[in-house]
A and B are shown apart, each in its own frame.
Chain A
Amino acid sequence: MAASLCGSRVKRREDPRFITGTGNYVADVTLPGMVYVKFVRSPYAHALIKSVDTSAAREVKGVLGVYTGADLKSKLGPVPCAWLVPTEPPIKVPEYRAVAVDKVRYVGDPVAVVVAESQGAAEEAAERVSVVYEPLPVVVDQEEAVKDGAPRLYDGIDRNTSFVWRLKGGDVESAFRQAEVVVKQRLVNQRLQPTAMETRAAVAEYDSARSEATLWITSQNPHIHRLLVSAMTGIPEQKLRVIAPDVGGGFGSKIQVYGFEAVVTLLSKELRRPVKWVETRSENYLSTIHGRAHVDYVELAAKRDGTILGLRVKTYANLGAYLTTAAPGVPTILFGIMLSGAYRIPAIECEVHGVLTNTAPVDAYRGAGRPEATYIVERMVDMLAHELGMDPVDVRLKNFIPKDKFPYTVATGLLYDSGNYEETLKKAMSLVGYHSLREEQRRLREQGRLMGIGVSTYVEVCGLGPSKVVRSTGFGLGLWDSAVVRVHPSGKVSVYTGAHPHGQGEETSFAQIAADELGVPFEDVEVVHGDTAMTPFGMGTYGSRTLPVAGMAIVGACRKVVEKAKKIAAGLLEAREEDVVWEHGKFYVRGAPAKYKTIQEVALASYTAENLPPGVEPGLEVTHFYDPTGFVFPFGAHICVVEVDRETGEVKIQKYVAVDDCGNQINPMLVEGQVHGGITQGLAQALYEEAVYDSQGNLLTQSLNDYALPTALEAPTYTTDYTVTPSPVTPLGVKGVGETGTIAATPAVVNAVVDALAHLGIKHLDMPLKPEKIWKAIRRAESEQTTTS
Chain B
Amino acid sequence: MQSDNFNFECEYWVRGSMSSTRTVRVRVNGVEYTKEVEPRLLLVDFIRDHLGLTGTHIGCDTSNCGACTVIMNGRSVKSCTKFAVEADGGEILTIEGLASDGNLHPIQKAFWENHALQCGYCTPGFIMQAYWFLKQNPAPTEEEIRAGLSGNLCRCTGYQNIIKAVKAASEELRAKAPTINGG
A676 to B62, CA, bound (A): 27
A135 to B156, CA, bound (A): 40
- Is the CB of B95 closer than 8 A to any CB of chain A? yes
Q: CB-CB < 8 A to A711: which residues of B? A: 146, 149-153, 159
* Contact of A22 with B60 at beta-carbon distance under 8 Å, contacts A197-B119, A709-B153, A711-B150 already known: no
Q: CB-CB < 8 A to B52: which residues of A? A: 30
* Contact of A715 with B160 at beta-carbon distance under 8 Å, contacts A23-B55, A282-B61 already known: yes
Q: CB-CB < 8 A to A249: which residues of B? A: 118-119, 121, 155-156
A670 to B157, CA, bound (A): 10
* Of B3-11, B20-28, B109-117, the one with at least 4 CB within 8 A of chain A: B109-117
Query: By CB atoms of chain B within 10 A, which of A199, A280, A672, A673 has the most?
Result: A673
Report the minimum CB–CB distance from B67 to chain A (whole Å).
6
- Is the CB of A27 closer than 8 A to any CB of chain B? yes
Bitwise, B135-167 to A at CB < 8 A (1) or not (0) is 000000010011101111111111111110000
Q: CB distance B155 to A199 under 8 Å? A: no
A281 to B65, CA, bound (A): 10
Q: CB-CB < 8 A to B60: which residues of A? A: 281, 703-704
Closest to B62 in A: A703
Q: CB distance B155 to A251 under 8 Å? A: yes
- Is the CB of B34 closer than 8 A to any CB of chain A? no
Q: CB distance A199 to B118 under 8 Å? A: no
A20 partner, pick from B38, B104, B159, B160, beta carbons under 8 A: B104
- Is the CB of A159 closer than 8 A to any CB of chain B? no
A interface secondary structure, majority: loop
Q: CB-CB < 8 A to A18: which residues of B? A: 117, 120, 123-124
Q: CB-CB < 8 A to B79: which residues of A? A: none
Query: By CB atoms of chain A within 10 A, which of B58, B121, B142 has the most?
Result: B121
- Is the CB of B81 closer than 8 A to any CB of chain A? no
- Is the CB of B73 closer than 8 A to any CB of chain A? no
A677 to B161, CA, bound (A): 10
* Contact of A197 with B65 at beta-carbon distance under 8 Å, contacts A248-B120, A248-B121 already known: yes
Q: CB distance A28 to B158 under 8 Å? A: no
Within 223-260 of A, Cβ neighbours of B (below 8 Å) are at: 246-249, 251
- Is the CB of A11 closer than 8 A to any CB of chain B? yes
A16 to B123, CA, bound (A): 11
Bitwise, A676-696 to B at CB < 8 A (1) or not (0) is 111111000000000000000
Report the minimum CB–CB distance from B137 to chain A (whole Å).
14
Within 51-65 of B, Cβ neighbours of A (below 8 Å) are at: 52-62, 64-65
Report the minimum CB–CB distance from B142 to chain A (whole Å).
8
Q: CB distance B108 to A19 under 8 Å? A: yes
A705 partner, pick from B38, B62, B118, B119, beta carbons under 8 A: B62
Report the minimum CB–CB distance from B40 to chain A (whole Å).
8
A195 partner, pick from B57, B117, B146, B155, beta carbons under 8 A: B155
Q: CB distance A673 to B147 under 8 Å? A: no
Within 31-80 of B, Cβ neighbours of A (below 8 Å) are at: 38, 40, 48-49, 52-62, 64-65, 67
- Is the CB of A731 closer than 8 A to any CB of chain B? no
A16 to B121, CA, bound (A): 13
Q: CB-CB < 8 A to A30: which residues of B? A: 49, 52
Q: CB distance B146 to A713 under 8 Å? A: yes
- Is the CB of A221 closer than 8 A to any CB of chain B? no
Closest to B45 in A: A119
B120 partner, pick from A15, A199, A673, beta carbons under 8 A: A15
- Is the CB of A466 closer than 8 A to any CB of chain B? no
A645 to B159, CA, bound (A): 24
Bitwise, B94-114 to A at CB < 8 A (1) or not (0) is 111011000010001001110
Q: CB distance B112 to A673 under 8 Å? A: no
Within 94-122 of A, Cβ neighbours of B (below 8 Å) are at: 120
Bitwise, A739-763 to B at CB < 8 A (1) or not (0) is 0010000000000000000000000
Q: CB distance A504 to B118 under 8 Å? A: yes
Report the minimum CB–CB distance from B141 to chain A (whole Å).
13
Q: CB distance B55 to A248 under 8 Å? A: no
Report the minimum CB–CB distance from A610 to chain B (whole Å).
44
Q: CB distance B157 to A20 under 8 Å? A: no
Q: CB-CB < 8 A to B173: which residues of A? A: none
Q: CB-CB < 8 A to A21: which residues of B? A: 53-56, 94-96, 124
A22 partner, pick from B65, B96, B155, beta carbons under 8 A: B96
Bitwise, A348-378 to B at CB < 8 A (1) or not (0) is 0000000000000000000000000000000
Instruction: For chain B, give the interface size range.
Output: 35 or more
Q: CB-CB < 8 A to B120: which residues of A? A: 14-15, 17-19, 23, 246, 248, 503
Q: CB-CB < 8 A to A741: which residues of B? A: 158
Q: CB distance B59 to A673 under 8 Å? A: no
Within 640-694 of A, Cβ neighbours of B (below 8 Å) are at: 669-670, 672-673, 676-681
Query: By CB atoms of chain A within 10 A, which of B55, B60, B119, B145 has the most?
Result: B119
Q: CB-CB < 8 A to B124: which residues of A? A: 18-19, 21
Closest to A702 in B: B62
Report the minimum CB–CB distance from B99 to chain A (whole Å).
6
Report the minimum CB–CB distance from A31 to chain B (whole Å).
13
Report the minimum CB–CB distance from A707 to chain B (whole Å).
9
Closest to A21 in B: B55
Q: CB-CB < 8 A to B61: which residues of A? A: 280-282, 703
- Is the CB of A198 closer than 8 A to any CB of chain B? yes
A712 partner, pick from B64, B98, B159, beta carbons under 8 A: B159
Q: CB-CB < 8 A to B115: which residues of A? A: 11-12, 669-670, 672-673
Report the minimum CB–CB distance from A425 to chain B (whole Å).
22
Q: CB distance A19 to B127 under 8 Å? A: yes
Q: CB distance A19 to B158 under 8 Å? A: no
Bitwise, A493-525 to B at CB < 8 A (1) or not (0) is 000000000111100000000000000000000
- Is the CB of A729 closer than 8 A to any CB of chain B? no
- Is the CB of A607 closer than 8 A to any CB of chain B? no
Q: CB-CB < 8 A to A678: which residues of B? A: 158
Q: CB-CB < 8 A to A198: which residues of B? A: 57, 59, 119, 121
Query: By CB atoms of chain A within 10 A, which of B57, B120, B146, B162 has the most?
Result: B120
Report the minimum CB–CB distance from B69 to chain A (whole Å).
12
Bitwise, B78-97 to A at CB < 8 A (1) or not (0) is 00000000000000001110
Q: CB-CB < 8 A to A23: which residues of B? A: 55, 120-121
Q: CB-CB < 8 A to A12: which residues of B? A: 112, 115
Q: CB-CB < 8 A to A195: which residues of B? A: 155
- Is the CB of A611 closer than 8 A to any CB of chain B? no
A197 to B94, CA, bound (A): 19
- Is the CB of A158 closer than 8 A to any CB of chain B? no
Q: CB-CB < 8 A to B122: which residues of A? A: 197, 248
* Contact of A712 with B146 at beta-carbon distance under 8 Å, contacts A124-B17, A704-B65 already known: yes
- Is the CB of A208 closer than 8 A to any CB of chain B? no
Q: CB distance B62 to A281 under 8 Å? A: yes
Q: CB distance A676 to B94 under 8 Å? A: no
Q: CB-CB < 8 A to B162: which residues of A? A: 712
Within 756-773 of A, Cβ neighbours of B (below 8 Å) are at: none
- Is the CB of A133 closer than 8 A to any CB of chain B? no
> What would be 24 A-B contacts, judged by CB atoms less than 8 Å apart?
A11-B112, A14-B120, A15-B111, A19-B117, A19-B123, A19-B124, A21-B56, A120-B17, A197-B153, A197-B155, A197-B156, A198-B57, A281-B61, A281-B62, A672-B161, A676-B158, A676-B160, A677-B155, A681-B155, A711-B149, A713-B146, A713-B147, A715-B159, A718-B160
Top 9 closest A-B pairs, CB basis?
A: A21-B55, A18-B120, A248-B121, A503-B119, A21-B95, A680-B158, A503-B118, A704-B64, A676-B158
User: Knowing that A248-B119, A249-B155 are A-B contacts, what are 11 other residue pairs whose CB atoms are under 8 Å apart, sorted by A's residue number?
Assistant: A11-B113, A15-B120, A30-B52, A120-B40, A672-B161, A676-B159, A704-B153, A711-B151, A712-B162, A712-B163, A717-B160
